[in-house]
Structure 1
């Protein structure tokens, strides 16, 4: 048994990272010819630096080994958010990045549904479809950006790429790797809300070329302080990630790395939302100040840590034949206690519960969880380029294996419990006797999967490419009481027609499968039979297919990308309850929509990243629901799917006024989102404005200033089916200094 006397983990008082720079020189000589009669005319060699070596919002190729073509020639929507854009916007966590990305909305955890990053892509949840360098992070945890090079968002069903799930898409976090140069970067940031909340963040990124073929890289982060405009809501985080590569710039390369991330935060569940006694109020009540903390910050806590060991071995037999092996061991622990907020309409409220006037009270209830996850993954890829007559092939074939284990501990909480509190005077009484005792860790479930796949990009001629992919998965999930085993085939077929040297039109058809138990231990009961935990129902996997047509163009010397797409994603056999009350896969839902995006440089001084997404979601057939003593046809049929914004858009643009000064600004719009299946309650639309300025004081040192959420818009990130709504940070001012050497 374990006793908690403090909700905070001790953190190092100082993070000391040192780096050593090595200097190299190069001698360039060229012959001269004095004898004109014997002059030799050589072919002109023109060297063009790769545009991607310069900071840019437009990244031209994916780090996913299964996508072998440039993004221009990939027959699907892939949105890559670059390190430059992440840094300029002042993001520190994955949620910051996703919050300003069109087509993605956020969900909330609550008890059985763990806290952590919970994105919805094109209308479908993707919390267990977050990958780290192509390996599934099954923890439903949280992710910092200190060790990220980019965030790749692949939209539409993608089981052929990543295995089960991936109904709306996948998020692949690309981590920093050693490179062939000596450079270091240290940043120190101070953030202040203007109302008393302050936060400090320190990062360092050091790359050292030890020899011509060996490089070492070390990243570290410390982030501590208050969330802007939220009283007594704190973050306390640190992380470190060393890695080393042997054989750099040789045919055989071996990279080994380690990463540790630790969160020790005071969480905030926002505001109590729906009120059965006042059903006419459909959105969150806003009669209290933005910064009000309705929870119990003296006892609310969330401790999360992740630890990753990874190994990558690559060998190039020649430019047409390559092999790659990757192995990863990922462990996470999530331990939290937070206050669940709700309008319980306590007797003490009297008529105020209906009028929501003076005397209105709300309830504070306990929610706690202790979960562990442990993922082992291995993947072997073989890439081959060859011709069959006049037809060119670029083939990737491989096998991957993963084993995901979920653990839990029972938590016995004393010194806290249900509290009825005055909504307009939410005093926080102390809880001196609060403590938690933990039981021994228990195995809660296990998922194993073996996948076989093959992809072929077939160039029929200079104008037409065909992209084919097929994957077989041998899947098994068990909670040690019930077991589900499935054999699943998924595929995609895409056609790319090259209208011009830098213009394409494409069409794509892709599928995905969601077997029962695919998110075992990472979903609660709020979604009812739709939950992927349904091991004991003896039903097959949900299946989804998507049709997409689109066009992609590059402009301004290939520095600016424009993409547009129309799509329909349809789940043809969603989990539902039949007329006899038996769980079946007879339900149907779909999302139709379109999107446009532009990313890159309009000219060498002007960068832009902008996008718009339209999502028309609908529950086509929700099966039957129990009413009184009988099952009736689901009255929610025809409604929008919850948590999804029909309209969302963003723009972020910066301009270099001269060699030292850069200015920028942006706006993010998210439309109304329903938070329940009946479409009664919703989160209102919002627009967030941000601004940016940077000045390079010295060649080695620069300053950056950000104002986020300039208008101090009250933004609701998510809601737990209308019970409570989480609130995004308010206006903040941040000053960051960056020293590079």
Structure 2
């Protein structure tokens, strides 16, 4: 235990000093000739949830005129919900469900968009973050979720869509915000969080911004599950309000958490059905909190150069260098074939089969050390021109990325092998001799991609637009033994009919490709051949296409956006195993559904963000199993909720008082393709209140998961199921100046 605690002490003080001195940097010690800063007092006026334009440089039109579904979760909504991580944001976004890592499949954010995994389709300011890590909200302005195949926008993958994290940038006014938050479960689990956001306009053309965060304590209603995180993100912009702008940024994030794998799941005797174990207390930690740890570091350097040649032509160059490291040990909880006397019940080690009150589970060891280093560059030329009466809004560009993966072998000693524990009365042994020995860092592989793309939004008539996108990728992936190279072409064709000044009807056809090795280092054995982790098969990329029909409206003086869409995403050559045991791309699967959403203001005092998604998934052809046609044909795809819905709404009751809350619903999800195990549905209720004592000082109260619903967030093919935090009460004070 001392081994772990010594790792965490380093961050206890690291950011506290920075945040305590997070007042605006007024440069009081400068001489008399220094520029006098103008401090602007921030008011606490409520900003609409509705963001009308995407931050993606490849989308040149407003969301109203973009022929695909794009959900943007604003900073206002993120802050009101009290969401501190990307997982918090995605838990309440319809059409997205979560998966879990298990060692070979790394820990970190693992979202599924419209039924397809998107863990390597997370972008930061439009640039791919391949690290398969975890993401914080302290430096985010918004989270953009683009749904449907999107290889034309972001390159390989993007089967179900992409998630684009929009970071904070320097602005041309001086203002600061400090928050201090205390959270308690009411059952002894407490956590505190501090953030600071300082923007200094040095003059009309230069501004600096500093964001920082410290988050420490325990997860609500989960015993001995600790959170210990800090981050810092400074940036500076030269040339504000001029044709040429240069922004330099740095971002560092560190986690020293206690991982929590939740509860054991699959059991052949179905003692409590085909859902996760629910017989124990909500708070029970079935792992080994004395030794379980996760250290995650993410560090990036960013350069963004923009130049406006004139009102109709601009050039943008972006460079990002991102390094991440994961070092973790966690206890994988699963059922073991022993009874209280220790004798074997099953000899095949498949699962326990015993009476419900005479059951043991197994604590397995999972350790991993992995580094990822990505170097990414992108060049965009954006413009507007006319050919006769036809207007073109275009983007032509190129990008390059190189992603390198390294590992260290790990050897764990000082722990009992396959520790067997009473499920109804778990105990924790003496782990004082626990130790991890690391081997040298070795290269595990790399991915190199060069892409060219062209987008053109064509206003053919006053009422009819055509949206075209083309992309070519020169792709290469190697695990240092085998190498795969592919040339990939992807495209999209969208049409928009302006049925009214505030209403649109659209249609969209888009494609994506998943080449072998596109998840190199990001998938384990349990993901099978579908993961694309193997390069020795030397097969063609998977291909996916999507058809979407929809309508978008801006109503109530353009304050409220109403959207509806029906769609089908179909993977026509999914990776499967042939009758002779070789891997091919002869499989098929598809997801059909529809989505409804409303976001914005019903009245100037009443805000709403709501959505509903229906997904009907099906495995059409899953190849062969042991030489026979797969019995999984016709089954539902794993981790997909047929129905999911969300409502978040707030109302300005008094000049200083705002009240609101939300409801989130996620339907049952199968945890494996055999459809044997089910993650049960859940409904979560949240409440919100804020009081603005004065323009500079406010107080916010959040009660999350009011009913203390036991929410099974995710599973790893039914071996175990993670558990979301229980009921919590969070009080946050905000000081703006």
Answer yes or no: same fold by TM over 0.5: yes
Matches within 5 A, 1:16-415: 16=18, 17-18=21-22, 19-20=24-25, 23-24=37-38, 55-278=47-270, 281-347=273-339, 348=341, 353-415=352-414
2-structure distance, mates of 1:655, 1:432: 54
Secondary structure of 1:536's aligned partner: coil
2-structure distance, mates of 1:320, 1:162: 24
Residue aligning to 1:610: 610
1-structure distance, mates of 2:228, 2:527: 32
Q: Is the 8 A contact 1:502 1:554 kept in 2?
A: yes
Q: Could you list the per-position Cα deviations for residues 312-368 of structure 1 after superposition, in whole angstroms to 9, with x for gaps in the alignment?
A: 000000110000000000000000000000011225466795344333100001001
Q: Offset at 1:6?
A: 4.3
Q: Is the 8 A contact 2:120 2:519 kept in 1?
A: yes
Residue aligning to 2:689: 693
Please state if 1:704 is matched with 2:700: yes
Q: Offset at 1:8?
A: 3.0
Residue aligning to 1:721: 717
Matches within 5 A, 1:473-488: 473-488=473-488
Residue aligning to 1:551: 551
Q: Could you list the per-position Cα deviations for residues 605-653 of structure 1 after superposition, in whole angstroms to 9, with x for gaps in the alignment?
A: 0000000000000000001011xxxx00000100000010000000000
Please state if 1:512 is matched with 2:512: yes
Secondary structure of 2:674's aligned partner: coil
Residue aligning to 1:47: none
Residue aligning to 1:40: none
Q: CA 1:431–1:675 in 2, change beyond 3 Å: closer, same or farther?
A: same
Please state if 1:662 is matched with 2:661: no
Residue aligning to 1:31: none
Q: Offset at 1:656?
A: 0.2
Q: Could you list the per-position Cα deviations for residues 66-100 of structure 1 after superposition, in whole angstroms to 9, with x for gaps in the alignment?
A: 00100000000000000000000001100000001
Q: Offset at 1:190?
A: 0.1
Secondary structure of 2:17's aligned partner: coil
Q: CA 1:279–1:291 in 2, change beyond 3 Å: closer, same or farther?
A: closer
Q: Could you list the per-position Cα deviations for residues 168-209 of structure 1 after superposition, in whole angstroms to 9, with x for gaps in the alignment?
A: 000000000000111000000000000000000000000000
Q: Offset at 1:396?
A: 0.2
Residue aligning to 2:680: 684
2-structure distance, mates of 1:582, 1:287: 43
Q: Offset at 1:702?
A: 0.3
Unaligned runs of 5+ in 2: 27-35, 347-351
Secondary structure of 1:276's aligned partner: coil
Secondary structure of 1:211's aligned partner: coil
Q: Could you list the per-position Cα deviations for residues 243-279 of structure 1 after superposition, in whole angstroms to 9, with x for gaps in the alignment?
A: 0000001100000000000000001000001112437
Q: Is the 8 A contact 2:38 2:174 kept in 1?
A: no
Q: Could you list the per-position Cα deviations for residues 216-267 of structure 1 after superposition, in whole angstroms to 9, with x for gaps in the alignment?
A: 0000000000000000001000000000000001100000000000000001
Secondary structure of 2:693's aligned partner: coil
2-structure distance, mates of 1:345, 1:673: 27
Q: Is the 8 A contact 2:329 2:367 kept in 1?
A: yes
Q: Offset at 1:685?
A: 0.5
Secondary structure of 2:64's aligned partner: helix
Secondary structure of 1:518's aligned partner: coil
Secondary structure of 1:485's aligned partner: strand
Residue aligning to 2:33: none
Please state if 1:653 is matched with 2:649: yes
1-structure distance, mates of 2:439, 2:211: 36
Q: Is the 8 A contact 2:271 2:356 kept in 1?
A: no
Q: Offset at 1:12?
A: 4.5
1-structure distance, mates of 2:602, 2:632: 46
1-structure distance, mates of 2:689, 2:354: 47
Q: Is the 8 A contact 1:454 1:470 kept in 2?
A: yes
Residue aligning to 1:50: none
Q: Offset at 1:7?
A: 4.8
Q: Offset at 1:659?
A: 1.4
1-structure distance, mates of 2:567, 2:268: 38
Q: Is the 8 A contact 1:9 1:264 kept in 2?
A: no
Q: Could you list the per-position Cα deviations for residues 430-485 of structure 1 after superposition, in whole angstroms to 9, with x for gaps in the alignment?
A: 20100111111100010000000000000011100000000000000000000000
Residue aligning to 1:595: 595
1-structure distance, mates of 2:661, 2:12: 36
Q: Is the 8 A contact 1:4 1:437 kept in 2?
A: no
Q: CA 1:414–1:265 in 2, change beyond 3 Å: closer, same or farther?
A: same
Q: Offset at 1:524?
A: 0.6
2-structure distance, mates of 1:438, 1:662: 53
Q: Could you list the per-position Cα deviations for residues 353-402 of structure 1 after superposition, in whole angstroms to 9, with x for gaps in the alignment?
A: 53443331000010011000000001000012000001000110000000
Choose 339-348 or 137-146, whichever is displaced more: 339-348
TM-score, normalising length from structure 2? 0.95
Q: Offset at 1:4?
A: 7.6
Residue aligning to 2:529: 529
Q: Is the 8 A contact 1:363 1:419 kept in 2?
A: yes
1-structure distance, mates of 2:518, 2:287: 33
2-structure distance, mates of 1:381, 1:12: 42
Q: Offset at 1:25?
A: 9.9
Secondary structure of 1:157's aligned partner: coil
Q: Could you list the per-position Cα deviations for residues 580-615 of structure 1 after superposition, in whole angstroms to 9, with x for gaps in the alignment?
A: 111000000000000000000111100000000000
Q: Is the 8 A contact 2:274 2:676 kept in 1?
A: yes
TM-score, normalising length from structure 1? 0.94
Q: Is the 8 A contact 1:656 1:662 kept in 2?
A: yes
Q: CA 1:356–1:170 in 2, change beyond 3 Å: closer, same or farther?
A: farther
Q: Is the 8 A contact 1:298 1:430 kept in 2?
A: no
2-structure distance, mates of 1:234, 1:508: 45
Q: Is the 8 A contact 2:455 2:468 kept in 1?
A: yes
2-structure distance, mates of 1:684, 1:516: 33
Choose 270-279 or 514-523, whichever is displaced more: 270-279
Q: Is the 8 A contact 1:349 1:360 kept in 2?
A: no
Q: Offset at 1:699?
A: 1.7
2-structure distance, mates of 1:15, 1:276: 53
